[in-house]
Amino acid sequence: MSLYLWQPADDEARQDGFRKHYVNGEKVQHGFPTFLQIFAEEKTPTPENFVLALEQTWAKDWNVCFSQFAPPRDQWANSWRRLKDNLVESKMDFVVLDFDGDHPEITPDSTLEERVRIAKSMLPMLENLELVSFFSSSGFYKNTAKPHRMNLHIVVWFDKPYPREQVRKFLQSYSRSSDGESLLDPAMSVRTQPHIVANPIFKNTERFDPKGPRVILTPGGRLSLDDLKIPFNEAENGPRESRLNNLQLSSELTLKEQEILRDLVSRSDRGELDGMRRSAFTTALWTANFFNNGDTRAFREAIKSDPKLLNNHDIDSLDRHLRGLIENELTGGEFGSEWHNVKRIKHLDLADFDLSSVPKEGAVICLKSGCGSGKTKGIIKRLMDITCYRRALYVSALKATIEPAARAIDFAYYLQHGEEAKADWCVSNDRVAITDKSLKVFFDSNNVFLPFDVVFIDESERVALNSVDPASRTQELFTLCRAAKLVVLLDADASCDLTGWFAGEIATSSEKELLALINDKDWMGEGHCVYALEAEKDLIGITEMLLGQGERVYFHTSRSDRYKQLSALARHFQQRYPDKNILAYDAETAPKRLKKEPSVFIDELIDNEGLDLLIVSPWSKIGWDYNGNHHFGATVGHYPHTFITAPDICQQMRRPRQTKKHYVWLGRRPNDATQRLADLDKTFPIKPGQLKADLPFSLNLAERAKRQRERQKRNIPYHLKLIIIERGGAYKPGCSTPRTDEGIRHLLTLVADEEQEKAIHDQWNCPFKKAELLSRFERVPNDWSSPFEVEQSNLSFEEFHAFYHRDLKKRNMDICAVSSIWFLEPSMREELDEKDQRFFAELTGRLLDEVDAIVRKFMRGSHHSFIHWLKDDDSQELRVLFTREDFRAVRELMDRCFIRYEHHIPWLEKQHNTSYVKFFQAMAEAFDLGFEYLEPQGNKKDAKHAVIHHFMKTEPGLIKPSKAKKIPNINEKTKVIEELLRVKLRKNEPLSPKEEAFLCHQGHLICFYKYKYPHTALVNQLDRAASESFRFFNFS
């Protein structure tokens, strides 16, 4: 058994929940964190290592707690909820004795040795045992009300591992002393119970430091629970434990598979699988396939080795069926499998493919062919030469692919003369390369257009995925395709549900022939091998190993350099290998030549300066490649999150065209992956008499794109494996290196605080950067935004620090679209939906109106909406009191249509279904507002009594004074007081401390306040949204 260190997850509200809080001289009660992550694991929790873990926790001020239980290991990359069902049941090697009672000999000045001596007198069995003793967190708070508290934890090791139930009975047996006083806390055997060891928090409270050592290790023997002869439920635990202990579990099984297998054996022994064994095997094999990327061989062998469990079932056939379902779900099915006209070809270079059999008119052709197969020159350019069509259109969703493609096929690049001249330039040329968002230039005010003979849609899957953006002109693209003589869609990742459906709709509506060209030959099949790394630390380990061997490495990651993450990686490798040339670029810092002519630029670098490691962010994944005179020995991929999908990761591997050795580490799967996909199909029920209307093409495609995006996030590691194998590459899972996380922890998963702080200090120390950032805010003093005066101004670092974070959040959030909908009346929202249903204006507005219903009660004057309050410069603060019931309507809308809302309300997250305060906090940050949540302090009953007595003194005419011990008609009085205080909130009148404390117990009391210097981006977005013409939507 291990010792686990739990820490609050990043999205957990109670970040300091594992610390005791002492505020204003009193201990503050608060709940433990709900969502957690594994911070560290001590696999050999000897007494010596336990002491070391304690000392490191205190010295490094880790925000953690200790436990002997953890979720299955494959869930460690995710956050998980602190529930017993999420923690693997196991035996206990030791137990923490929490002496939480009083003893008359104890004083606040009692040393640790004195407390241990008294504990042994209370529990003689501790004599001659090996113990780790230390002060509890309460030992550092001088509690004058309870000066005799033991404040002591003693850890006792057992002679062998014992069932948790037996440990629980032991603690219960000694929870009280012989005279009935509290002795040991029995909760220390509960799986979900955290062992609090972190340094406490003191606010306006003096920390008390006891004399002597904080922790003592006492040598001795081990405790035998069997010798104590404490009865526990043998019938329930004995046989089952014995049966499970006799299981021969293969070392090839993952922890999750072991957990599932133990559960199956246990249920089988109890007869719970009788009549439902196939159903249980279906669930188990589905889970094992999903979380082990389709490799269930060891799991199936373990089941088949137990005849009683197997009971003559054919689990191999069942497994093949389930694996096929999962793989079909992840990939969307085999492309073209339902089409009548499918032609399979095998060419590494499409220039070798004979086009004579391909229709040149009256057809829609879908080409699925891998990276580097020459789709642009091998298909598009040759088709243009053969057909001699005068008018031709090339469309892509990515600007990065358009300009080089335009040069290669001799088309006019749509931005050749800039944005302002775009429309005239495109209309004046017969052959144009353009993005899907700019297609409106070919239509006049009456939607009249001049058809193209042929339309090429490159990266067709991305064009289809882009349809969720209302700015994408997919309806116009559909119209142009229907009018063309020939339509060609090209993509390495073409799917049935998007590219296939898109092509089918064009063909059906314009009576064209539909043809699928599938290139089964891929460069991945030419000796490429992908090694899936076990842990994030192995990324650093394999890169160090490759550099040490003299290999040139291409390191691609989902991170940017916004928090200096790429810089931190580059700095680490540069310090490790000072003689090597290491470069790191994100989209903002990459040189233009590297983007425009990568092969030439990189060759010059290698020839002139040398290049050993190139680190790039996702800007390079499409429309960019290196195929120069040199080569990279290996690629290393780093993807801790789910916003970069498997097709994109595979694209990044292929950017260095000559490289065949690839390493990749993929992080988390969404915990709610299956549920998120099911949510896609949720909609409002159709009432009797109603009919479901047909969706227009653009909305139908957008709906399919949303489903595809969710599908691609469900299981990125498994999806990537399927892509690699489909394209002929080798896939090697479970690869690791000897590298530990020593010295590199700050590089893993999350950006270390010190890296972000360094970025802020770098900007602070540069007057030009400092002034440039301040210039993004309205009404700041002139000397703050001047690089020549800012150094002599009164701007403090603390103020700059706050401006930096506000600017960072605002740059990542555009609230113009949602604000426009918020400004609209319901009838205008319906009109907007009629123009383009992708806005979901009526549905989005419905949720925004429910938000207004909560905050409107506390607005002054003529304000009837939060968005109007934002525009009013005279109203600077808005305090709101709401309850769970008040938020119910918002929650129900989110429950029913979350997938819809998360695309249209930019601050919305899944956790807001239950974290109501976080919903409003995120909303405040989106609108560049200050936010405060006044948490309830103390006891609700005490707060109620205190405010009544306060009103008896201040408002005797309203609340009649009384000296009675029991306040008469207390509920009526509090109701009157609450109504009065709600009026004070609405008038923005100050509250007394007792009034505020009372309101905090009546619901959630929050406050929005406007900054003195608002962000210019917010002001501009609100102005655009509020304009009468709604030019943002571009409906001309």
Cα 141 to Cα 751: distance, rounded to the nearest angstrom: 34
pTM of model > 0.75: no
CB-based contact 47:157 (threshold 8 Å)? yes
Cα 1001 to Cα 994: distance, rounded to the nearest angstrom: 11
Please compute, for residue 148, the number of CA atoms within 13 A of its CA located in the half-sphere on the CB side. 8
Cα 136 to Cα 50: distance, rounded to the nearest angstrom: 15
The full set of domain ranges for the chain reads: 3-228, 247-331, 342-521, 525-669+715-744, 746-795, 816-1026
817-to-365, 450, 470, 1026 alpha-carbon distances in Å: 36, 31, 10, 10
Residues in the chain: 1036
CATH architecture of 525-669+715-744: 3-Layer(aba) Sandwich (3.40)
User: CB-based burial of residue 16 (10 Å sphere; 0-12 exposed, 13-18 middle, 19+ buried)?
Assistant: middle
One-letter amino acid for residue 565 of the chain: Q
Residue at token pair 């002869």: 229
Please compute, for residue 756, the number of CA atoms within 13 A of its CA located in the half-sphere on the CB side. 8
Q: How far is CA 156 from the centre of its chain?
A: 39
Tokens of 668: 């988390």
Cα 804 to Cα 799: distance, rounded to the nearest angstrom: 9
- For 466, phi then psi, to 5°, come to -70, -15
Q: How far is CA 176 from the centre of its chain?
A: 45
Nearest one of 734, 771, 739 to 537, comparing CA atoms = 739
Residue at token pair 């030439």: 600
One-letter amino acid for residue 66 of the chain: F
pLDDT of amino acid 1036: 33
Torsion sign across C-alpha atoms 669, 671, 676, 678: positive
338-to-4, 48, 345, 724, 919 alpha-carbon distances in Å: 51, 65, 18, 23, 44
Going by CATH, does the domain composed of 342-521 fall within 3.40.50.300? yes
Q: Are strands 35-42 and 80-81 parallel, antiparallel or unpaired?
A: antiparallel
82-to-12, 17, 71, 256, 939 alpha-carbon distances in Å: 11, 13, 9, 17, 25
Cα 538 to Cα 78: distance, rounded to the nearest angstrom: 18
Torsion sign across C-alpha atoms 187, 192, 197, 200: negative
Cα 469 to Cα 476: distance, rounded to the nearest angstrom: 14
Cα 462 to Cα 440: distance, rounded to the nearest angstrom: 19
Nearest one of 719, 701, 722 to 711, comparing CA atoms = 719
CB-based contact 81:35 (threshold 8 Å)? yes
CB-based contact 710:676 (threshold 8 Å)? yes
One-letter amino acid for residue 497 of the chain: D
CB-based contact 919:997 (threshold 8 Å)? no
Tokens of 767: 């007057």
Cα 891 to Cα 885: distance, rounded to the nearest angstrom: 10
Fold match flag (342-521 vs 525-669+715-744) = yes
- Greatest Cα pair distance, the chain, in angstroms, is 103
Tokens of 1018: 């917010």
Rg of the chain (C-alpha set): 33
pLDDT of amino acid 1029: 38
Torsion sign across C-alpha atoms 148, 152, 158, 162: positive
**DSSP-based three-state secondary structure for 8:** strand
- For 473, phi then psi, to 5°, come to -95, 60
pLDDT of amino acid 12: 75
Cα 128 to Cα 931: distance, rounded to the nearest angstrom: 56
Residues 6+ apart with CB under 8 A from 38: 4, 5, 6, 7, 70, 71, 76
Kindly tell me the number of DSSP H helices and DSSP E strands found in the chain. Answer: 38, 30
Tokens of 405: 């493609």
Angle at 66 between CA 61 and CA 69, to 5 degrees: 150
Alpha helices of 690-815 — where are they, by DSSP H?
A: 697-714, 716-726, 753-764, 767-774, 797-811
Tokens of 321: 């069926």
Q: Taking the CB of residue 629, how many other CB atoms lie within 10 A of it?
A: 10
Alpha helices of 246-296 — where are they, by DSSP H?
A: 255-269, 277-291
| Cα torsion through 189, 192, 198, 204, rounded to 10 | -110
pLDDT of amino acid 241: 43
| Cα torsion through 265, 88, 10, 40, rounded to 10 | -130
CB-based contact 233:165 (threshold 8 Å)? yes
Please compute, for residue 512, the number of CA atoms within 13 A of its CA located in the half-sphere on the CB side. 26
pLDDT of amino acid 684: 44
Nearest one of 833, 514, 819, 508 to 698, comparing CA atoms = 833
Q: Are strands 3-8 and 215-218 parallel, antiparallel or unpaired?
A: unpaired
Cα 821 to Cα 1030: distance, rounded to the nearest angstrom: 10
Q: What is the mean pLDDT of each run of 10 residues along the chain (1036 residues)?
A: 89 80 80 85 92 94 93 86 84 91 89 93 92 92 86 94 90 79 81 90 89 93 90 49 59 84 86 77 89 91 88 88 86 79 93 93 95 91 94 90 90 92 94 94 92 96 88 92 96 90 94 94 93 94 96 92 80 92 90 91 94 92 88 94 87 93 83 49 48 71 85 88 93 92 77 60 86 93 90 85 87 82 86 79 92 91 83 87 93 86 87 90 93 87 89 85 73 89 89 90 93 92 72 38
Cα 762 to Cα 35: distance, rounded to the nearest angstrom: 34
Nearest one of 856, 760, 870 to 818, comparing CA atoms = 870
Q: Are strands 582-585 and 412-413 parallel, antiparallel or unpaired?
A: unpaired
Nearest one of 329, 286, 324 to 707, comparing CA atoms = 329
- For 3, phi then psi, to 5°, come to -105, 125
pLDDT of amino acid 277: 83
Strand partners, 92: 162
Angle at 413 between CA 409 and CA 414, to 5 degrees: 145
Q: How far is CA 756 from the centre of its chain?
A: 19
Residue at token pair 């891929």: 522
Cα 557 to Cα 619: distance, rounded to the nearest angstrom: 10
User: CB-based burial of residue 663 (10 Å sphere; 0-12 exposed, 13-18 middle, 19+ buried)?
Assistant: buried
Quick one: DSSP state of residue 733? E
Residues 6+ apart with CB under 8 A from 131: 47, 116, 154, 155, 156, 216, 217, 218, 220
CB-based contact 628:603 (threshold 8 Å)? yes
